[in-house]
Chain A
Amino acid sequence: MKPVKPLSPAYDWIIVGGGLVGASIAYGLIQKQPQLRILVLDGSDTDYRASVGNFGLIWVQGKGHNFPAYANWSLQGADLWPQFAQQLSFQSQIDLGYQRQGGLEFALSQSHLDTLSEEMAAIADHTQGAFHYNVLNREATLALQPGLGEAVVGAIYSPQDGQVNPLYLLLALQKASQLCGVDYQSSCRVDTIEALGHGFKAAGFVGKKILLCAGLDNQRLGKQLAMHLPVRPVKGQILITERTDLGMLNYASPQLLQTAEGTIQVGGSSEHLGLDDRSSLDIMSSIAEEAVAVLPNLSNLKLVRSWGALRVMSPDGAPIYQQSQQYKGAFGVCCHSGVTLAAAHAGPLSNWLLNSLNEDPLNLIEAMSNERFSI
């Protein structure tokens, strides 16, 4: 029997999935080591893509109140954003619409406001006071956002929240990475991954290392690489209005967000309906109802389009950063906050993947492995 010559890996890294997670990491890796040969394999035009349903918030408040590592990681990520945005905009020549103007989460009942306050206190505690926030009563909220409806009792304000255009972010990451030499292959679904000993083979390409950023498909692909990546789909619906005068909304909010074009995004929902991303009347109606309760002036604005997408949700909502124990060189990343964590993914996480841990002194990344799901 003739010995079969192993295919020499064409790439140092194959990244499966070209959404915000895959694109941020591809960008981060090539910035750190420009000589790396990186290939991003992206799916087809109509695949489920969490990235396209993203609201565009760079959101710290509320993240990780039950999970200190995640709280710190989110805050760290948000703090890395300004420099990340500047560099990426410059390289890609694309305006990301990035702002760190602060965020408001409106509460429509006192009990809701109380719950939010407790969560924020926990996050401040986890971050040793690095997370800043204010619990605002109705009067104070009105001072920041005039025109609020009677149902609004108050809000949580954090100066550390912001927003970006998530679609242009993805475009910019793709463009900048390509300019630096990253290869992109679209319409390239990965069915099976073969471990070759010296590398991995996926969709006919061979790479020394492989990184799974395929969103909901990570679970299936992870099994092939002996990684347990438990994610399930959680649907979120968004409404988008016609363009209106800029300056209607001065702060970012998960309930209402004004884009640079002047349209207003209204969200959202959390539905557990499996692989169903359709818009539904009952949810759209209740989203509209809440929006109009928060800001009655929105009542006359026309809804121009709606969206539904499937979040990539881990059991506790925090990201999963995992190395395969059995297959050295195989990694998996799952997260539903691809925007907030984009800078962290391009920064410390890319370093971790390249095996230089000096940017993760608190061992946050290790704390977000799948081991936390073992009983």
Chain B
Amino acid sequence: MSDFLFNHLLDDAHQCPIIVNGVACQVPEQLNVAAALLYLGHLANRQHPVSGELRGSYCHAGFCFECLVAIDGQANQRACLTQITPNMSINTALAGVN
């Protein structure tokens, strides 16, 4: 888990509960999954299938396919194209990786 490198601009944003790698969290409700992961300090979200290196989101526009995570049991979803919903379960492929 990385440092918290991002701030939210709005002071009184409504929060939304989500579950990331089994841990319950609260994030501003307007975030998409990729933004939520950055907000929570997850800079990396998967291991590269060829090199095994850690990879994180890059373009946030749906073009690069780096932000793949499992959402509500469905694997390899583009986090940047998915809005968070209450109690959404998000699993990066790094749950077992330090």
> A300 touching B49 by the CB < 8 A rule?
no
Other-chain contact of B74, A243, A262, A300 (Cβ < 8 Å): A300
Instruction: Report the Cα distance A242→B77, complex, angstroms.
Output: 12
| In the complex, chain A residues whose CB is within 8 Å of the CB of B74 | 300
With an 8 A cutoff between CB atoms, is A32 at the interface? no
* Residue interface bits B62-75, CB-to-A below 8 A is 1, else 0: 00000000000011
| In the complex, chain A residues whose CB is within 8 Å of the CB of B75 | 300
Instruction: Report the Cα distance A300→B49, complex, angstroms.
Output: 18
A side interface size, CB within 8 A: 5
With an 8 A cutoff between CB atoms, is A272 at the interface? no
Instruction: Report the Cα distance A242→B75, complex, angstroms.
Output: 11
| In the complex, chain B residues whose CB is within 8 Å of the CB of A300 | 74-75
With an 8 A cutoff between CB atoms, is A302 at the interface? yes
| In the complex, chain A residues whose CB is within 8 Å of the CB of B49 | 243, 262
Residue of B nearest to A263 (CB): B49
* Interface members, chain A 296-349 (any B CB < 8 Å): 300, 302
A96 to chain B, nearest CB (A): 18
| In the complex, chain B residues whose CB is within 8 Å of the CB of A302 | 76
Residue of A nearest to B74 (CB): A300
Residue of A nearest to B73 (CB): A300
* Residue interface bits A237-272, CB-to-B below 8 A is 1, else 0: 000001100000000000000000010000000000
Instruction: Report the Cα distance A242→B49, complex, angstroms.
Output: 11
Instruction: Report the Cα distance A242→B50, complex, angstroms.
Output: 13
A303 to chain B, nearest CB (A): 12
B81 to chain A, nearest CB (A): 14
* Interface members, chain B 54-88 (any A CB < 8 Å): 74-76
B50 to chain A, nearest CB (A): 8
A264 to chain B, nearest CB (A): 14
A138 to chain B, nearest CB (A): 30
Residue of A nearest to B49 (CB): A243
A152 to chain B, nearest CB (A): 25
A168 to chain B, nearest CB (A): 15
| In the complex, chain B residues whose CB is within 8 Å of the CB of A242 | 76
User: B-contacting residues of A (Cβ < 8 Å)?
Assistant: 242-243, 262, 300, 302
3 smallest A-B Cβ distances: which pairs? A243-B49, A302-B76, A242-B76
Subset of 6 A-B contacts with CB under 8 Å: A242-B76, A243-B49, A262-B49, A300-B74, A300-B75, A302-B76
